[in-house]
A and B are shown apart, each in its own frame.
Chain A
Amino acid sequence: MKRIVGSRLTGAVVFLMAFALLSGCDNNGGVIPVSDAIYLITVTNMTSNQPLSPLAAVIHFGGYTGWEIGTSSSTGLESLAEGGDPTDFLAGAAGNSNVQVISAGSGVILPGASDTVTLTTAESPDLRLTCAAMLVNTNDAFTGTTDVVVGDIGIGESRRIFLHPYDAGTEVNDEAASTVPGPAAGGEGFNAERLERDFVSAHSGVVTQDDGLGTSVLDESHRFLSPVAEIIVTRIQ
């Protein structure tokens, strides 16, 4: 109880100080300036043994989406999901007029580790978030979320979102040493060739040699259940 009263007092003091400051310099001539919103996106890898490729993060309005279930991947998503490279995915986003700001994470996120991306853009209640990263010990699995509204998050507030695994649907899930690029195998990453069944779906998980797929380079430690990551979205300004 003490703690709660304390935080309410602090909050009230900060609010009143801000009010006093604002009323002390009322010389904007009635024009309300649009201020920047700053979002921190902290992603934590929640898998046993699937490093995540560097995060691709996009703040945008409606009219952009990173992917759609049942629809074929963009080339950028294919490159991200097969090879772990966010470059083309982010370039594709940057070319969409509804996209406000893009950013790549600082590097590979190992199991249990986190990475934080900072995104700054003009504030709006309509802002949405898309982010994506590859599960690198797979053929073309990725995780992320797309088109989720974050503009309703207040300054100083956070929201936790669990991230599910998806299959880009662009490469057969053979789990072969030659086609899995992560440290479990070191095989090929991006290959422009597409599957006949070419659409994004929820991922069904990996089989692995320990569960009967003799040609798999993966072992049981590479298995995963959903969710595979969580993100904490915090608006700090």
Chain B
Amino acid sequence: MKEKNIMGVIVSLLISLILAAPLPAAELSIEVTNLTHGIYFTPLLITAHDSATHLFQGGTPASSSLRLMAECGDVSELIIDLGGEDADTVANPAGGLLAPGSSVSASIDTMSTGNTHLSLVAMLLPTNDGFIGLDSLPIPDAAGVYVFHINGYDAGTEENSELLDTTGCSPGMPGIPAAPGGDGGTGGSGVASTDSNTAVHIHRGNLGDTEAAGGVSDLDSRIHRWLNPVARVTITVQ
């Protein structure tokens, strides 16, 4: 008899706890600003998900989907991993590259999914396999404006040769697919031939050189270097 009573109390308490639990934030506006001087962002992927999901994690080898994004700027496989675009997964809000100094906004709605965490990625150009990354940020519950500064990562999947090869891009193909500012060089001998940290890590930055033709790098050290943070993410919770 006593046991039965306790079970009844537990069940009613459980129901009241579930009803009383705060609803996850529903409508979010997310603004991404490219803080760099001379680095472009490829089409962004912005997604809300549960606490167990990660597009990437520092110290963990990149997935093949992340590699495709970091080496070629292609988020299509990451979108497939996430189950497709929906109310809280948005791709390419800028309709192309996000230039240095530019901003773009996207809106997502987690009402139908109940998702609680936010991730964001885009490739850094020109780099071999650099990307901007926000890994599984708990979405603030209270309405307000929240500002985060995020860093440049290295996917650890391709050596940082800093050599341009605009003939195409596929994962595992060496070279940087584009220097969108039209400020790349030619004929470099190659900066690095190995990547000693093959897990995702913080990018050490481009080396570059000051020779348009020749030198070690096809990048310009006066234009293509950066310091962290590389992007500002402003989250407005309605």
Interface residues of A (CB under 8 A from B): 1, 3-5, 8-9, 12-13, 16, 20, 44-49, 111-114, 162, 210-211, 220-221, 223-228, 230
Contact = CB atoms under 8 A, between A and B. Distances in A.
Contact of A5 (B18, B59, B195, B198): B18
Interface residues of B, number: 37
B156 A224 contact: no
A59 B227 CA distance: 32
Nearest to B13: A16
Given A48-B195, A210-B207, A225-B205, 14 more contacts: A3-B50, A9-B14, A16-B10, A16-B13, A47-B197, A47-B202, A48-B204, A162-B151, A223-B207, A224-B202, A225-B152, A225-B203, A226-B227, A228-B202
A98 B59 CA distance: 33
Contact of A225 (B58, B59, B204): B204
Interface of B: 6, 10, 13-14, 17-18, 21, 24, 50, 52, 58-59, 113-114, 116, 151-152, 154, 156, 191-192, 194-199, 201-205, 207, 216, 226-228
Contacts of B50: 3-4
A9 B202 CA distance: 38
A227 B52 CA distance: 24
Contact of A223 (B24, B201, B205): B205
Contacts of A114: 59
5 contacts: A4-B114, A8-B17, A47-B202, A210-B216, A225-B204
User: Among the interface residues A44, A48, A228, A230, which one has the most CB atoms of the partner chain B within 10 A?
Assistant: A48
Contact of B201 (A5, A16, A111): A111
Contacts, number: 92
A227 to B, nearest CB: 6
A113 B216 contact: no
Given A8-B17, A45-B59, A20 B6 contact: yes
Contact of B204 (A1, A16, A47): A47
- Grouping DSSP codes into helix (H, G, I), strand (E, B) and loop, the A interface class, with mixed when no group exceeds half, is mixed
Contacts of A49: 196-197
Q: Can you list the 6 inter-chain pairs with the closest CB atoms, starting with the nearest?
A: A112-B199, A111-B197, A44-B59, A1-B114, A223-B204, A46-B202
B14 A225 contact: no
Contacts of A221: 192, 194, 196, 204
Contacts of A223: 204-205, 207
Contacts of A4: 24, 50, 114, 116
Contacts of A12: 13-14, 17-18
A202 B44 CA distance: 32
A63 B13 CA distance: 44
